[in-house]
Amino acid sequence: MTTLTPSALDLGTVQKIRKAAVLAGLIGLVGLSLVSQSIGGVDGAWHERVELAGFVAMIISIVGRAWCSLYIGGRKKAEIVDRGPYSITRNPLYLFSFVGAFGIGAQSGSVTIALLFVIVALLVFSLTVRREEAFLEREFGETYRSYKARTPRFWPRFSLWRDEDQLTVRPSLFLLTIRDGLVFLLAIPLFELIDAGQAAHWLRVFAHLP
């Protein structure tokens, strides 16, 4: 691994833009959820199954993101990490975030809404990843270009798996990743409130989505 101490300004700005774009997308999709409902109503079997699948997806996302943080925690701006989940995809944290986005949207009881959450996350992360890649290529040169050439951007290639014998873990960053992931679970009470509002006819439903 090549270690440097690059300026974090560019990458930090990209991360702020990403978070703002994700927040805007989430607000828009929650707004759509206010005026739509899954087929079969809020108490139907379809609704309950989609919610359950979403809960499982959020748990997978939280655990997966925490696993990735064991490898990358605090080192993204200082070195190229190419072991563990980072040996099979360059952006495993984002990949697990897509799973989490599906889980959040699935709490609406609609697969359509869940997939829209994934699409928004994919669009935002695809744009910001390109900026991150430009930053990393500028800072690490051939080391990063070689890693980029052999490792997929998102979809994992499991035949590339390589691991470390030992890891140096930063507990504060690991716990921060867990905390950020647990925020996904706030989708459960949020969408339950929306369901209650629709069931009580406080919210008007304009469309029923699968």
pLDDT digits (tens, 9 = 90+) for 24-68: 777 888 888 888 888 878 888 999 999 999 999 999 999 999 999
Q: What pLDDT was estimated at residue 3?
A: 42
**Which single residue is written with the structure tokens 């800072």?**
139
Q: What is the pLDDT of residues 129-187, one digit of tens each?
A: 888 898 889 889 999 999 999 999 999 999 999 998 888 888 888 888 899 889 899 99
pLDDT category of residue 188 using cuts at 50, 70 and 90 = very high
pTM, entire model:
0.85
- With a CB cutoff of 8 Å and minimum separation 6, the contacts of 29 are 105, 113, 116, 117, 120
